[in-house]
């Protein structure tokens, strides 16, 4: 999580590294996979290569595992299987007393299991996840670039809106992750792209037709049949090229509304040069993720989760706003930019009478955003009770202060 101290301890704490917890082991019937928290998703996909199995894990191989799952976790497979955290059979961890416990949906620690499915890092130190495997011998995935024209922009926005309404409902195997980027590395202007995904071998799913020619013409395209192993490895060079850069996320949520989509897009890219033009190097990216009702339905398994998103409240669009930059002194400009976008968007949406859902995706949220305030109030009370039950002295709240703590909600 690219927030200062979010994964850190305070000066009185002891740093415990889980990088050595690299266990990966299939159950005898291959129905579950035991995953140590020191792995990344690329390690998991590589381990499962040639097994015909996969996991409802991260979309990129470089992403870590425990924080991803305890924040919910959006996967390519989520439109069919729900949150990554909805696809856990058990969690093993060390609670504040020092006891090692294994929590499942129906054992004595079922309340802890529920809390760890989206309640963050207030409850235990995770030593292992037992994840449910899914059949996925081949997937079709890749990144398509569409160029920089105004027509491209409008059709890209239309495609997001239509996929939010229909795509995820019509095709549970399909996912699209659109992004628009600008900055010092984009001399030709804002560039529009999408990561497209199909669970199987199909480059021509009707649900993805708005993301292909003749509606959206590609300037480059890597969408092809492959495996999750090959996909997770293919992006490593790109991440090496930005390694060491600073990064900030901020998240907004709307219902699937074409006007809201336009307002957020236009506000974001209008404010970029006003706030970021003095930076020597930066990349500003807007990623509006269409989230279907089916996503919410698929997540309501194994006792549910603290987010408890209502399918009838969908579909949503969740907007990840990110800025890559180089030096610490630019932090104030980035912070001012993200805050200005947030405030201006909310003001403009209110002026148009456009309501927003309260939910904010924890894993994309910025420091200070009201994440738990978007959870049902009864679930927040339950999370606080569970935190007090397993950590009455607030060891994980005070000694590991980063991230979002239920005690502070």
Evaluate whether 24-136+375-400 and 139-364 have a shared fold. Answer: no
Are the C-beta atoms of residues 396 and 96 closer than 8 Å to each other? yes
- Please write the tens of the pLDDT for every residue from 218-258: 999 999 999 999 999 987 777 777 778 899 999 999 999 99
**Residue 207 predicted with pLDDT over 80:** yes
Residues forming beta bridges with residue 28, ordered by sequence position: none
DSSP helix, strand, coil percent of the chain (3-state; round to 5):
35, 25, 40
Measured CA to CA, the distance from residue 320 to residue 289 in angstroms comes to 8
Banded model confidence at residue 6, pLDDT cuts 50, 70, 90: low
Mean pLDDT of the chain: 94
Gap between the Cα atoms of 162 and 166, Å rounded? 6
The mean pLDDT value for 61-81 works out to 96
Please state which of the four CATH numbers 3.40.630.40, 3.90.1150.10, 3.40.462.20, 3.30.1440.10 is assigned to the domain occupying 139-364: 3.40.462.20
For residue 292, name the pLDDT band (cuts at 50, 70, 90). very high
Q: Which fold has domain 24-136+375-400?
A: 3.30.465
The rounded distance, in Å, linking the Cα atoms of 207 and 216 is: 14
Take residue 321 and report the two structure tokens written for it. 């706003």
Supply the pLDDT for residue 240. Answer: 74
Q: Do the bridges between strand 316-325 and strand 191-198 make them parallel or antiparallel, or are there none, so unpaired?
A: unpaired
pLDDT for the residue 2: 53
Q: What residue spans define the domains of the chain?
A: 24-136+375-400, 139-364
* CA–CA gap between residue 328 and residue 56 (Å, rounded): 35
Tokens of 268: 């974001």
Tell me the whole-structure pTM to 2 decimals.
Answer: 0.95
């Amino acid at each position: 999580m690219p927030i200062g101290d979010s994964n850190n301890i305070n000066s009185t704490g002891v740093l415990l590294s889980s990088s050595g917890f690299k266990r990966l082991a299939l159950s005898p019937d291959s129905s579950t996979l035991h995953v140590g928290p020191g792995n990344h998703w690329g390690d998991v996909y590589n381990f499962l290569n040639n097994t015909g199995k996969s996991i409802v894990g991260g979309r990129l191989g470089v992403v870590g595992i425990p924080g991803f799952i305890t924040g919910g976790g959006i996967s390519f497979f989520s439109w069919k299987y729900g949150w990554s955290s909805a696809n856990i059979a058990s969690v093993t961890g060390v609670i504040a007393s020092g006891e090692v416990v294994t929590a499942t949906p129906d054992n004595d620690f079922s309340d802890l299991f529920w809390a760890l499915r989206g309640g963050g890092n207030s409850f235990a130190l995770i030593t292992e996840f037992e994840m449910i495997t899914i059949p996925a011998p081949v997937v079709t995935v890749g990144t398509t670039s569409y160029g920089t024209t105004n027509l491209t922009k409008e059709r890209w926005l239309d495609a997001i809106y239509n996929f939010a309404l229909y795509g995820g409902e019509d095709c549970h195997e399909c996912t699209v992750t659109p992004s628009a980027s600008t900055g010092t590395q984009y001399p030709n202007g804002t560039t529009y792209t999408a990561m497209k995904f199909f669970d199987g071998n199909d480059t021509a799913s009707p649900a993805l037709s708005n993301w292909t020619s003749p509606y959206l013409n590609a300037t480059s395209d890597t969408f092809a049949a492959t495996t999750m192993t090959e996909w997770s490895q293919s992006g490593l060079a790109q991440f090496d090229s930005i390694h060491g850069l600073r990064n900030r996320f901020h998240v907004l949520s709307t219902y699937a509304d074409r006007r809201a989509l336009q307002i957020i897009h236009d506000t974001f890219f209008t404010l970029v040069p006003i706030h970021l033009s003095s930076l020597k190097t930066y990349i500003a990216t807007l990623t509006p993720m269409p989230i279907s009702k089916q996503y919410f339905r698929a997540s309501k398994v194994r006792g549910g989760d603290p987010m408890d998103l209502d399918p009838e409240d969908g579909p949503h669009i969740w907007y990840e706003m990110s800025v890559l930059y180089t030096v610490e002194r630019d932090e104030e400009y980035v912070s001012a930019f993200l805050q200005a976008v947030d405030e201006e968007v909310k003001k403009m949406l209110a002026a148009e009478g456009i309501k927003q859902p309260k939910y904010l995706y924890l894993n994309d949220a910025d420091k200070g955003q009201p994440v738990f305030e978007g959870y049902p109030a009864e679930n927040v009370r339950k999370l606080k009770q569970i935190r007090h039950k397993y950590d009455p002295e607030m060891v994980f709240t005070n000694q590991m202060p980063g991230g979002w703590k239920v005690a502070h909600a």
